[in-house]
Structure formats: C-alpha cells, structure tokens
C-alpha cells in the first residue's frame, strides 16, 4: 500500500530554509513540499517553483491552506515561538528549527499550544539523526561502555569568524550554536539531568567586542555524577567540525570526524582529508533523517523522537550558561 506523503509548508527561505526545502522535496519520499513562505518579494517563489511548490508572502497563508498538513519553521530564531503557537492554533503539525524559543517561557508556550491542539511537535536537533551519533547513542543504551562518566561535544563553524561582529545577537554561542551540543550531551547520557554549569566564553576573533562571544567552553555536571564539556568556535579555518565522545566504566565511544569521505590523499605534504565547509554539506543525511522522522511520526500518529521537552532541557543549559558567564561562577540549571 502506498502511503500519501505528508504535505508540508515551509516558513522562511533563508540559508537553512532553502536547504530544508530542497531536502524535503528531493530526499524525503514520506513528505511533499507544497508551499514556501517568505515576506521578501519574489524570494519564496524563486525557491519553491523549481521544487514544484508555490510561493507565499506570509506564514498566515500557509497556516490557512487546506493542502498543508504540517509546517517546517526555518525563520529567524526570535520568531520561532510565535510561529509555533500560530501553527498549532491552525491545527498544523510543527517542526521548528532550534531554538524553539528564546526563553524557557516561550518554549513552554509552544509545548502547551501543540499539546492542546493535539499536533506533533519536533525540534531540529539533527545530530540525533547522523548515523555515527545514532550508533554511539545505541551503544550507550545497550550498555556497551558501562556507566557514563565523562562526555564531550563540540561544534566549530568554518571560516575566520563573523564578518560583522555587530550582527551576531548576544548569547548566540550558547542559545543557537552550543544548543546542539547541549542536546547531544543530554541524549548521550540517557535518563540523566544537567544540574549546573560553569561557562567561559570570549571574543577571540574581534578582541574587546562588547557583545560578541565566538569561542566558548562549558563544563556541565549531571545528576548521575557524569561530567561533560561542550566547546564551540566560530572560526575553524579547516571546515565545519562536529564531534562527540563518551567515556564509560567499560569503554569509550566517539562520533564525528568532519571528513566528507573516507578517502585520504598521501603526498609530499602529508596525509590529507577533504573536510566539509558547512552544516548543510556535512549533515545532509541527518537533515534528511529528521524530516523523515517528522513525516513518519505524523503518519503513525505518535510523538516524534525529538520533542519540545528536549528543546526545553537543552535551552535550560543555555540559560544557565548565560548566568554563569555573567556572574563568573557556577550556575544552576533550571529544573
């Protein structure tokens, strides 16, 4: 029996929205891209029409459409919470890019709105759908490394740093970059809750900038005794780098390498590996997997494997990091 694809409207045609639209239309048979919304004149149509979808000038047009079952929110982070609530109010299933809000209160409103509407709510923590990270998680759950004791996760963005430091919103390193690492660490330490953090961050590409934080290291303590570190950099000259490591009482598991293939060139300069220079390149299969999960969960009438509560747990760590950086001391993670 052939199942009808879940009909999706996408909100936001920027860099990540354009990637998501292409992934949904060309790589996810469980879904069908039917509409793209963006307020900038002509932008939505330019993205949508080659993908056999239509362009809309407002999210409201997508929310009101009878041929849209679900929405993917890829607009500016500050708009996520409002769009989640509006989509749920229109009876649409919701996939939101991270973060699902810019405060715990905003995220909680989204959780409540989607629960009240009885619609699926998934958040874009793509690392859970990368094959190597999934295998690491499964090995931990199976007990292959024993009791989790130490964890590490890192994200390094490619390039020389922000071209315009003034354009980077305050606390981005915690709320939009390391938010992935916080979720990854929570996921790789199943059943444990983050208790407190010590966060150190600074601007190393634009020293002395009043708000930019482009490098950060966070130490997290969990209630099962495990200790974790999360690292971020906005200036990795060699490419986009995402890695994880978990040490247990009986072994260790690692994930992530940054190389685009297993091929290695050995020549007079040494051993060379080609590395990815963007998240949409390195994580393309993970993005595909998360949208396949979203559509499948809707079809099966179940809760997606990444929930609003997961988004809240990761943002709670980010909020504690902000408090720790401001105070220069250890900060409690909100329950």
Report, in angstroms and rounded to the nearest whole number, the Rg of the chain calculated over CA atoms: 20
Give the pLDDT mean for 210-229: 98
Mind listing the pLDDT tens digit for each residue in 68-107? 999 999 999 999 999 999 999 999 999 999 999 999 999 9
CA distance 179 to 194: 13
Q: What is the pLDDT of residue 3?
A: 79
* Three-class DSSP category at 62: helix
> And the tokens for 152?
């590490």
**pTM summary value:** 0.96
Give the mean pLDDT of 176-201: 98
Q: Which helix (DSSP H) or strand (DSSP E) does residue 48 occupy?
A: helix 43-48
Cα-based distances in Å from 23 to 48, 176, 289, 294: 12, 21, 10, 13
Q: Which residues of 198-234 are buried (b: 16+ CB within 10 A; e: fewer)?
A: bbebbbebeeebeebbbbbbbebbbeeebebbbbbbb
Query: DSSP H helical segments within 171-307, as ranges?
Result: 172, 178-187, 279-282, 284-300
Q: For residues 309-324, b (16+ Cβ closer than 10 Å) or e, as one string?
A: ebbbbbbbbbbbbbbb
Residue 88's pLDDT is 98
Which of 207, 201, 204 shows the shortest CA–CA distance to 170?
A: 201
Query: Locate tokens 């407190």: which residue?
Result: 196
Residue 1's pLDDT band (cuts 50, 70, 90): low
Asked if 5 contacts 29 with a C-beta cutoff of 8 angstroms, the reply is yes
Residues 249-261 as b/e (b if ≥16 CB within 10 A, e otherwise) read eeeebebbebeee
Neighbours of 31 (CB within 10 A): 25
Report whether 232 contacts 155 (CB < 8 A): yes
Residue 215 has pLDDT above 90, yes or no: yes
Place of tokens 């051993």: 271
Q: What is the pLDDT of residue 258?
A: 80
Long-range contacts of 22-26 (CB under 8 A, 24+ apart): 22/51, 23/284, 23/287, 23/288, 23/291, 24/72, 24/291, 25/51, 25/52, 25/53, 26/51
Of 135, 237, 241, which Cα lies nearest the Cα of 181? 241
Residue in 89, 93, 92 with CA at minimum distance from that of residue 109: 89
Quick: pLDDT tens for 108-137.
Answer: 999 999 999 999 999 999 999 999 999 999
């Amino acid at each position: 029996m052939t199942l009808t694809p879940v009909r999706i409207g996408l909100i936001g045609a920027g860099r990540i929205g354009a990637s998501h639209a292409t992934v949904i239309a060309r790589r996810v048979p469980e879904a069908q891209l039917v509409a793209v919304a963006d307020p900038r004149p002509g932008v939505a149509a330019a993205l949508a029409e080659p993908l056999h979808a239509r362009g809309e000038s407002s999210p409201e047009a997508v929310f009101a459409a009878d041929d849209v079952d679900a929405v993917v929110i890829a607009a500016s982070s500050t708009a996520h919470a409002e769009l989640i609530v509006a989509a749920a109010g229109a009876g649409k299933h919701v996939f939101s890019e991270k973060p699902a809000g810019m405060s715990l209160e905003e995220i909680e409103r989204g959780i409540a709105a989607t629960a009240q509407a009885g619609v699926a709510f998934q958040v874009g923590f793509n690392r859970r759908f990368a094959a190597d990270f999934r295998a690491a998680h499964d090995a931990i759950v199976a007990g292959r490394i024993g009791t989790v004791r130490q964890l590490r996760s890192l994200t390094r963005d490619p390039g020389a740093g922000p071209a315009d430091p003034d354009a980077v919103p305050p606390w981005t390193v915690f709320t939009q970059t390391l938010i992935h690492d916080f979720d990854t660490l929570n996921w790789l330490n199943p059943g444990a809750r983050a208790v407190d953090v010590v966060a150190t961050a600074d601007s190393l590409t634009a020293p002395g900038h009043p708000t930019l934080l482009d490098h950060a290291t966070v130490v997290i303590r969990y209630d099962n005794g495990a200790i974790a570190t999360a690292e971020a950099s906005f200036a990795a000259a060699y490419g986009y780098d995402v890695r994880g490591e978990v040490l247990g009482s009986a072994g260790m598991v690692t994930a992530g390498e940054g190389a685009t293939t297993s091929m290695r060139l050995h020549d007079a300069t040494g051993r060379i590996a080609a590395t990815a220079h963007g998240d949409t390149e390195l994580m393309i299969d993970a993005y595909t997997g998360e949208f396949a999960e979203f559509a499948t969960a809707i079809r099966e009438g179940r809760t997606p494997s990444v929930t609003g509560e997961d988004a809240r747990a990761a943002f709670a760590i980010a909020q504690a990091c902000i408090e720790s950086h401001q105070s220069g001391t250890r900060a409690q993670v909100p329950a």
